[in-house]
Chains A and B, each alone.
Chain A
Amino acid sequence: MIDLVQFAAQVGNVGEVTITGLGTRGGAASGVRCVHAPAGIEWVQPDEMIVSCGAGTPVDELVATLAEHRQTVALPAGGTVGGALVVGRADVRRLGYGPVRDVLLQARYISAAGEVVKAGGPTVKNVSGFDLCRLLVGSHGTLGFLGDVILRTRPLPQASKWFTRQVVDPFEVFTKLYKPTSVLWNGSQAWALLEGHPADVAEQAAAAGLTETAGPPALPAGSRRSVSPATLTSLTGDFVAEVGVGVVHHADTWPPLAAGERSAALSAAVRHEFDPGGRLNPGTDV
């Protein structure tokens, strides 16, 4: 188990404090004392499909290590494990791999009171107590600073290939595929990432009229929108949409979606419970 005593002392229990990993997802709050989470892979248990590491471990390092065991983890590439978790945004494989929130099994974090707190447990199946891990994912470090985590891994597929097809209705592709890893669409062209047994991948692609391509399209970086996947076909402009998921990568900027008034109040109540003085990542919107 990684020793979190020193990290807890750095976070302390008074004064505003922020945290950053590799700075790829927004980095630290400005003008505030900054700490870094411990890094390093503690252990890999391929037969349990779990891995333990410090929150400061680079995602790419973790993915490379897991690949030696023919496994991977459903976190977006780049930055640190902690950053990927607290931002909580999956990459384009979310359709098949699930959201980031389903990856975190156990976390030890430093609370606003400077204590080491454990959430969750080391097994994939676990309903012992309230699901604090899910609250930590996407919390942007406002409830506590992640120290170390246990993540669930997944087997690497035998084959993994991108395919494409010109198509006005993305659902002509989407509905013909069984559990695709990703289906993207830009209004006139669809892309699909198919994984599994090579013969199945080939047959699926043929059934959906897809031809192999080098990779996914470049994702427009103007804004990342979250919409009901049922509304995708009404999109306009320069975009790439994740079919079946509802994440839209758009060239235009777009104001962040406001939460409903009541759920925002509830989020604020949770934040207040965990950090009454507002000392962790001050000024951060969740």
Chain B
Amino acid sequence: MSTTLADELRAVLSPDRVRTGATELGLYARDASNIEGSAGIVCFPLTTAEVQACVRAAARHGVPFVARGSGTGLAGGATPLDHALVIALTKMDAVLSVDPVNRFAWVEPGVLNLDLTRHVTRHGMHFAPDPSSQQSCSIGGNVANNSGGPHCLSDGVTAAHILALEVVLSDGTIVELGGEQPEPSGLDLRGAFVGSEGMFGIATKVCVRLTQNAPAVRTMLMDFSSVEAGAQTVSAIIADGMVPAALEMMDQLCVQAVEAYIHAGLPVDAAAVLLVEVAGLPHGLEADVARIVEIGMAHGAGTVRIAQDEAERALLWKGRKTAFGAIARIKPNYYLHDTVVPRRKLPEVLRKVYEIVERHQLLVLNVFHAGDGNLHPLLVFDKREPGVMERVHAAGEEIVRASVEAGGVLSGEHGIGLEKRDFMPLMFGPADLAAQASMRHAFDPLGLANPFKVLPSPAACGDVQHVPEGAWV
């Protein structure tokens, strides 16, 4: 059947943009997670009409399709199952228009996050969501996953920055959701689509809200002799009525790995380091900096380092954003988790994370969006070690459970995908899951858009559940 679908696609696109070679199918069999699937065909449409043609062909053959951007997702959301058709949007990468006065832009889904910001920087604006993968992740992927990033603390995640979408539904219908206008009639289908992990259709054009660059920015680093003191400082800053632009935390093992990698003079003896950035108008900024330093000192901060120039600020951020690269010095493999807990529970849950990891004889680095309570425990290991994957998965499950038990949620920004699909019942009952399944059914009654993700059986309307290799569910 796949051969026929491939022939049909070659007739619609061009033969060089429909690939079925084993090497390419292998490359597209997974995203940045550890979960391996199987791609049947990979195609590269250039226009909305071509996406529509691909989707219609897939529907005619009853073959599921998976939209894919840069493949940087960490939850298996873009991992194709059962030889699905992978529709790669990477060649649809044009910035279509920018309104620098009203601060919005229309872009194609394959535009990279940081490229968009670079494109509009001459207008004194940027696209606010800034995932750590922002150099390589696409806007379409950001929409599908409702992506976050360090600066989402004050500016909100992707959903707050999407005004409108052009979407191809699984039956090939093209529909515009939302609009440049603030109060489109009908339900907020735009809002429903953002974060739907490719299961509601394929976004082919995106209208993004752009954010003014701050007139002034101050970035500072504070170190603490305990993780608890750092975490309590985070809560105290927010409770004081400030919302910094970013409020990030790294623990000792992480700081040491990063310092060995970038030599930024980071305090390697500290148990925890807070990276705090405030942005805005000068008077409010200086008042906030003074107050944050005061709060940090009251919680036992050892030293406070305020970046003196843009180069030093860039260096401090480089430390934060290259943390995942730096860990290669410790162990060859890592598994990155993503849960959210109430800020006040950070000390307690972090304590549990260390205890869980120790019990499973693993190593953990913590580098995370503390201001949002968004934990990113990074388990590092060598997968050649016998039995280690079982321990990694067992520890991961315990961390997820501990987070939800503390009043948190399953995922803050990576999504559910395949990775956490079967944990959904930790947060949602059968009626809650059925309501989410109803949303999907309204958008995709055929069930062909990226099936078997997010919703566990039986909420997924009787879909046979697949647990591919690498999944830890």
Contacts and interface: CB of A to CB of B under 8 A. Distances in A.
A258 B134 CA distance: 37
Given A101-B191, A228-B179, A258-B185, A178 B173 contact: no
B440 A130 contact: yes
Contact of A135 (B173, B239, B439): B439
A178 B284 contact: no
Interface stretch (A13-21, A75-83, A208-216, A240-248): A240-248
A218 interface: no
Interface residues of A, number: 83
Contacts of B186: 259, 263-264, 266-267, 286
B146 to A, nearest CB: 5
Most buried by A among B103, B243, B439: B439
Interface in A46-79: 46-49, 70-71
A158 B291 CA distance: 14
B319 interface: no
Contacts of B414: 127
A115 B431 contact: yes
Contacts of A200: 280-284
A126 B431 contact: no
A119 B195 CA distance: 14
A125 B175 contact: no
A273 B241 contact: no
B180 A228 contact: yes
B411 A228 contact: no
Contact of B435 (A117, A178, A227, A247): A117
Nearest to A199: B283
Contact of A263 (B102, B177, B242, B429): B177
Contacts of A174: 101
Contacts of A229: 102, 180-182
A135 B184 contact: no
Contact of B409 (A88, A122, A178): A122
Contacts of B427: 121, 128-129
A271 interface: yes
**Interface residues of B toward A: which range?**
35 or more
Interface centre among B199, B215, B283, B428 (most CB of A within 10 A): B283
Contacts of A247: 182-183
Given A132-B436, A199-B283, A125 B101 contact: no
B343 A47 contact: yes
Interface in B92-117: 99, 101-103
Contact of A125 (B183, B188, B215, B412): B412
A179 to B, nearest CB: 6
Contacts of B374: 125
B413 A127 contact: yes
Contact of B192 (A49, A131, A156, A175): A131
Interface stretch (B154-162, B249-257, B359-367): B154-162
B415 A127 contact: yes
A135 B187 contact: yes
A122 B407 contact: yes
Nearest to A247: B182
B189 interface: yes
A125 B372 contact: yes
B83 interface: no
Contacts of A42: none
B181 A269 contact: no
Contacts of B169: 266
Given A270-B442, A273-B438, A127 B187 contact: no
Contacts of B242: 155
A238 interface: no
Interface string A147-184: 00000001110100000000000010011001100000
B145 interface: yes
Given A98-B160, A123-B342, A125-B340, A89 B187 contact: no
A203 B436 CA distance: 48
B429 to A, nearest CB: 7
A101 B191 CA distance: 8
Contacts of A197: 281, 283-284, 287
B101 A245 contact: no
A102 B428 contact: no
A274 B434 CA distance: 10
Contacts of A49: 238, 243
A70 B241 contact: yes
A111 B436 CA distance: 12
A132 B146 CA distance: 13
Contacts of B236: 47
Nearest to A47: B239
B174 interface: yes
Contact of A123 (B199, B212, B409, B431): B409
A256 interface: yes
Interface string B425-458: 0011101110110111111010000000011000
B195 A230 contact: no
In this complex, the member of B427, B431, B438 whose beta carbon has the largest number of chain A beta carbons within 10 angstroms is B438
B167 to A, nearest CB: 9
B238 A118 contact: no
Contacts of A125: 148, 152, 157, 340, 369, 372-374, 409, 412-413
B352 to A, nearest CB: 17
Contacts of A259: 184-186
A266 B182 contact: no
Contacts of A71: 241
B438 A274 contact: yes
B182 A245 contact: yes
B101 A129 contact: no
A280 interface: no
Given A128-B427, A224-B183, 16 more contacts: A46-B239, A48-B343, A89-B183, A121-B340, A126-B340, A126-B411, A128-B416, A129-B436, A130-B436, A135-B188, A203-B283, A242-B182, A256-B185, A264-B185, A270-B438, A286-B187
The 3 closest A-B pairs by CB, nearest first: A134-B191, A197-B284, A226-B183
